Amino acid sequence: MKGGTELEPTIHEINSNKIIFKKKSLLTIIKKNSASYIMLAPYTILFVIFIVIPVLSAVVLSFTYFNMLQVPKFIGFQNYIRLFIDDDIFLIAVRNTLIFAVITGPVGYILSFVFAWFINEFRPKIRAILTLIFYAPSLAGNVYFIWLYIFSGDSYGFINGRLMSIGLLKDPIKWLTDPKYNFTVVVIVMLWLSMGAGFLAFVAGLQSINKDLYEAAAIDGLRNRWQELYYITLPQMVPQLLFGAVMSISAAFAVGAQSQALTGFPSTDYSTHTILLHMLDYGTIRFEMGYASAIAVILFAIMLISWQVVNNLLKKISND
C-alpha cells in the first residue's frame, strides 16, 4: 500500500460521460495532511541536518581535497584511486574489517539466535535471568576496557598470571600488542559484545509465536526439534530476523572503538586496524577530509550492499 498522491475525479464533460482525473495540487495535499507533516517536522529537520547532509556531503567531499582550512578542491577520483592502489594500510584495514564483520555479523547473529532459542525453553523467571546475563555486556556499554586487565601483557594480567602460576607459561604473553594474538583478543571481545538489541528481539519474538502452530504441526506429523525450527519458528520470526540483521550489519562494520581501546591506535603493524579507524585517522588526525570521506563512502556502500543481500535472503525464507 503506497501513500501515493490521491486522484480526485473532476467531471469535466458531463454529457459525454467522460471523467477526467485531475491530480490534487501539492498545496492541497500538504494542507490536508498538515498535522502529519508538522508532527514529523522537528525530527525531520534534525534528521536532514545530521544524517542526510553528512552522508551526502561525504559523497561530494570524497571527490575533493579538503583540509578544513581552505575551500575544498575538486580532484575527481584521485582519492579512490589512491585508496585502492597506493594505500597498503587501507587494504589491511579492509581485510581486518571483513573478518571482524563476518565474526561479529553472521557468527554473532547466529549465536544470538541460538542462545535466544535455548533460553526460550525455560520458565519466565529463568528466562529473565538468562536474558540479563547475556545482555549484560551490551548493557554495560563502554566498559569493555575491563578486558585490558584480563589480557594485560605483563604478569599482572589475569590470564598471564594464572597461566604462569600453573606453569603453562614462562614469560607473559603480550596479548594486546603482539600481532599474533591481539586480533584474536579483539574477536573475543567483539563476540562478547554481540548479544545486543537483536538478541532481545529474538527472545521477544520467540515468546510471541503462536503456540497453536506448534501443536498443529505436531498433529500433522512433525517429528523433531529441527523440523519445528525450520518449518515453523524461522518463518514466523522473519521480521525479527530482519531487525537483528540490520543491527548486526550496523555493528559489524563499525568495529573500531573496541579495537582502539584494546590494542591501541594504531595497533602494532596495524594488525587490528579497521576501515573505521582508517577513516578516523585521516579525518581527525591528519584532517584530510576528502580522503576520509572517500573511505566513509566505501563503508556506506559495503553496508548498504550487505543489507540488500541479507534482506533478499531473509525475504526468501518468509516466502518458502
Q: Please, which of residues 62-121 interact with other proteins by CB under 8 A?
A: 68, 115, 118-119, 121
Residues 6 or more apart in contact with residue 209 via CB below 8 angstroms? 232, 233, 236, 237
Decide: is 184 part of the binding site for other proteins (CB under 8 A): no
Rounded to the nearest whole angstrom, what is the least distance from the CB of residue 106 to other proteins in the complex? 16
Decide: is 284 part of the binding site for other proteins (CB under 8 A): yes
Q: Which is nearer to other proteins, 10 or 28 (CB)?
A: 28
Return the residue of 64, 137, 186, 273 that touches other proteins, per CB under 8 A. Answer: 137
Return the residue of 12, 23, 28, 53 that touches other proteins, per CB under 8 A. Answer: 53
Look at residue 12 and give its three-state secondary structure. Answer: strand
Q: Pull the grid cell for residue 171.
A: 614469560
CA distance 271 to 96: 8
CA distance 37 to 28: 13
Q: Which amino acid makes up residue 240?
A: Q
Q: Which of residues 200-239 bind other proteins (CB under 8 A)?
A: 200-201, 203-205, 207-208, 214-215, 218-219, 221-225, 228, 237-239
Rounded to the nearest whole angstrom, what is the least distance from the CB of residue 226 to other proteins in the complex? 10
CA distance 74 to 77: 9
H/E element, 64: strand 64-65
CA distance 277 to 255: 8
Q: Which of residues 234-273 bind other proteins (CB under 8 A)?
A: 237-240, 242-243, 246-247, 249-250, 253-254, 256-257, 261
Q: Is the peptide bond before 179 cis (omega within 30 degrees of 0)?
A: no
Q: Which of residues 155-174 bind other proteins (CB under 8 A)?
A: 155-158, 161-162, 164-165
Identify which range of 7-15, 78-86, 87-95, 199-207 contacts other proteins by CB under 8 A: 199-207
Question: Are the C-beta atoms of residues 176 and 264 closer than 8 Å to each other?
Answer: yes
Rounded to the nearest whole angstrom, what is the least distance from the CB of residue 121 to other proteins in the complex? 6
Q: Which is nearer to other proteins, 12 or 286 (CB)?
A: 286
Q: Which is nearer to other proteins, 99 or 150 (CB)?
A: 150
Q: How many helices (H) and strands (E) does the chain have?
A: 18, 4
